[in-house]
Structure 1
Amino acid sequence: MMTIKSLNKWANAHTYYPLDLLRIALGVFFFLKGIQFISQTHMLTELIGPLKGYGGVMLAIHYIAPVHLVGGLLIAFGLLTRWALVAQIPILLGAILINFVGLMNWGNLLLALVILAVSVFFIFYGSGKHSVDYYLKMKM
């Protein structure tokens, strides 16, 4: 618990608008991906196709879209950012795994790796000073 408080203090002392814009862009990206998965369910089932024999495909389909939608909104507003990003990590690891099990698509692999790196950064950095979390913390 003390580590999270010290990380929050450091992040609030070293916050910059470009990092907040990056967090908002990450949240919008996840939200748009959630909309894309809902509107194109057949594409999601094709992506998960190489993992069909391992079970849990329907569970994965019903996990990915809601986590992207709700998590994207939470990340964009800076509310429970770390928890929302922790929920995104299995999806991102699955996106990287699908590239190695199925057809290799370098663009998707690179995108998943970059988004994973940014997500891990914000798990440690937090939501920053210009977020709903910070606003609510100052009101209390």
Structure 2
Amino acid sequence: MKPDLAKVSRARPNPVQVSVARILAGAAGLALLGWGVSLLLDVPDLTGVLVWLGGALVLHDVLIAPLVLLAGLVLVRGGVRGPVRGALLVAGALTAVALPVLLRPGPRANPSVLPLGYPRNWLLTLVGVVTVTALVLAVRGFSRHRRRPPS
């Protein structure tokens, strides 16, 4: 016997479970915030870090987010718009974080400072984002196809 979709869609989550989940998520966020602040207090050049964080914020809010929203509006139609926009936002944030390393390629005076292949790893991460997005879209398409009643 199939469940009645009208009843299932109206079912509300248990308010106690939602409250506990929110409190746990808030506590975890505050703990991570406290850890981040404690790490910032040990930085000798705090103004440089604050300038970089401010630049990342401006880069995201002025450039990345509007471009992603515009691309989602113009290029993508239908139910795939959300996952595509999400993938573009993640790719933009990854690129913003990787920019300092990507813009200064080549050998370093101290090879232990940046020992990994960051451009390659950045590209592999972008491939991962595209792959996960494609899987999400495939699962959505498959589940929509299965829910349709036979004609």
TM-score higher than 0.5: no
TM-score w.r.t. structure 1 length?
Answer: 0.35
Higher percent of residues as helix:
1
Ranked by relative contact order (alpha carbons within 8 Å, sequence separation 6 or more), the top structure is 1
TM-score, scaled relative to structure 2 = 0.34
